[in-house]
Amino acid sequence: MSNVQQMLDLRKKIKDLAGKMTDAEANEYMDKVSGFNPRMFKIINTVSTDAGVCFGNYYDTVFSDGAISQKIKELMFMSGGVGTMSSKCIVHVIPACEKGATIPEVFEAATVGVILGGFSPRGAGIPYAFDYALKCIEGAMAFHNELKASGDAAKAKKAGFDAMAVRPAHIDGGIDR
């Protein structure tokens, strides 16, 4: 059997699985395989659950350990979010911390993002990117402090996200998590 045929067979299996899921089950699946579920997929999953399931699988594949560890990939994504002032991208600091990123590692990755924001065309600019870098560091510190205090990973994740809130949720949903 060719690689193409194997991929098509796998796609059919995923579509069949997803087609049997409710939107709540697809949302839960996405949370499990990718660690989050963007607001847009919560809406899309009400119409077609296979889109959310496929995105979750794709995300899991991209961010899995490979030549570069998941921790580093999450820090790279966070750094890009700092440089582009994306509140939805800087939240990747929390999965990075879950994978073992330390506060000094978050600091250094956030610093790269600040430079990216200052030197890339249409970048955020250093003063603006710096504010997002601080949010990443605050999130990492809250995550690690809560994890050390309680030993509860779920509480640590919540504390990290809460520390990073960049605007109230009633404006446009704030940070997806």
Same structural domain, 94 and 125: yes
Asked if residue 36 and residue 14 are part of one domain, the reply reads yes
Looking at residue 170, what is its pLDDT?
40
Are 39 and 97 found together in one domain? no
**For residue 113, is it within any domain?**
yes
The token duo for 102 is 């330390």
pLDDT of residue 73: 96
Which residue range(s) make up the domain with 25? 3-63
Mean pLDDT throughout 75-95?
92
Which pLDDT belongs to residue 13?
Answer: 75
**Average pLDDT of the chain to the nearest whole number:** 85
Domain count for the chain: 2
Percentage, residues of the chain above pLDDT 90? 46
Are 90 and 163 in a shared domain? yes
Final residue before a domain boundary, out of 63, 89, 113? 63
Claim to verify: residue 79 and residue 124 sit in the same structural domain: yes
User: What pLDDT was estimated at residue 39?
Assistant: 77
CA 109/CA 105 separation, integer angstroms: 6
Residue 83 has pLDDT above 50, yes or no: yes
What pLDDT is recorded for position 169? 42
The pTM for the full model equals 0.77
Residue 105 backbone zone (phi > 0: left; psi -120 to 50: alpha; other: beta):
alpha
pLDDT for 18 equals 63
Question: Which of 63, 87, 113 marks a domain boundary?
Answer: 63
The per-residue pLDDT for range 17-61, each reduced to its tens digit, is: 666 788 888 888 888 887 777 778 888 888 888 888 888 888 888
Residue 95, amino acid: P
| Residues whose CB is less than 8 angstroms from the CB of residue 40 and which lie 6 or more positions away in sequence, other chains included | none
Give the model confidence (pLDDT) of 128-170 as tens digits.
899 999 999 999 999 999 999 999 999 999 999 999 985 444 4
For residue 81, the model assigns a pLDDT of 93
Does 58 share its domain with 85? no
In a domain, 177, yes or no: no
143 and 166 part of one domain: yes
Q: Are residues 137 and 119 located together in one domain of the fold? A: yes
Question: Do 167 and 81 sit in the same domain of this protein?
Answer: yes
Whether 10 has a pLDDT exceeding 80, the answer reads: no
- Kindly calculate the radius of gyration of the chain based on its CA atoms and give it in whole angstroms: 18
